[in-house]
Amino acid sequence: MEELIKKAGILVEALPYIQKLNGKTVVIKYGGNAMISEELKNKVMEDITLLKFIGLHPVLVHGGGPDISETLTRFGIQSEFVNGLRVTDDETMRVAQMVLMGKTNKEIVSLISQKGGKALGLSGIDGELIECEKQYANVDGKIVDIGYVGKIIKINQKVLEFLANDDYIPVVAPLGVDKEGRSYNINADTVAGAIAAALKAEKLMLLTDTPGIKSSPTADDIIYEINQKEIYKMIEAGTIAGGMIPKVKGGLEALAGGVNNVHIIDGRIPHCLLLEIFTDSGIGTMITR
């Protein structure tokens, strides 16, 4: 009986959040270990399906870096990164498209379907969902050509709004297309931030392999709430570095575009989305405007 009462208490705690978020859009960037562990995959898909059934409009953007790297290695193609972005030549681009759309995207759609949800997979190439142009890297003041890596110009969000406001959960692969019809690979955190801004989402949820933003690289404590001005200071000071930078910058762009809150959460925790959205304390870092 005590266990049942405890479960009822959890539902009651979630009630005001469910009421507040009913009918609101939540963009989720899915990546890291949550994409590798079968147990975590299932937990994330259960969370997303539940969000849909209780009245939220989840939109899922996924990465696929480990799968792409593994496939490139199998084909004898070496991976190279500049400023955290994969150098993408013709062969690498073909592999990225094959893996992201042919494998990763369809696996996610299938998993959501198994949980009872209706998912529809697409990439930024479909319907010119993500219009982009070629992106160059700046390395010590020098402009470096990194191949078919895209910089987002525009999100054509109508198709996402149509699907999300209906019964579907859009699942988006981070590929874009330019005005000449050339395809580009784009950082998934950047895509998630741009889509969240275009949809004026209530929340952008970034799943990572860290508990959240820390006060220093060696600290154990997590900053549970921080505003964007403080984030900029931490980037300038070097407190936020490495792979956290594109996540945070994508989040800042989303906030500038009208998103209310950005959450950086540990995707290694089962049911991390529900714990962050529907509990008073949360489990990660929330960035506010």
Cα–Cα distance, 139 to 1 (Å, whole number): 62
Q: How confident is the model at residue 222 (pLDDT cuts 50, 70, 90)?
A: confident
Q: State the pLDDT at residue 69.
A: 86
On whether the CB atoms of residues 46 and 270 are closer than 8 A, the answer is no
Residue type, 159: V
Q: State the pLDDT at residue 62.
A: 94
Percentage, residues of the chain above pLDDT 70: 97
Mean pLDDT, rounded, for 223-243: 83
On whether the CB atoms of residues 209 and 142 are closer than 8 A, the answer is no
Binding positions for substrate are 64-65, 86, 185
* CA-based end-to-end distance of the chain: 43
Cα–Cα distance, 202 to 113 (Å, whole number): 25
CB atoms within 10 A of CB 242: 9
Residue type, 41: K
pTM: 0.90
DSSP state letters, 157-211: THHHHHHHTTTEEEEEESEEE-TT--EEE--HHHHHHHHHHHTT-SEEEEEESSS
Mean pLDDT, rounded, for 259-288: 87
Q: Going from the N-terminus, what domains does the chain have, and what CATH number goes with each?
A: 24-288 (3.40.1160.10)
- With residue 134 as reference, give the H or E element that holds it: strand 130-139
Does residue 5 carry a pLDDT above 70? no
Binding positions are 64-65, 86, 185
Cα–Cα distance, 137 to 117 (Å, whole number): 39
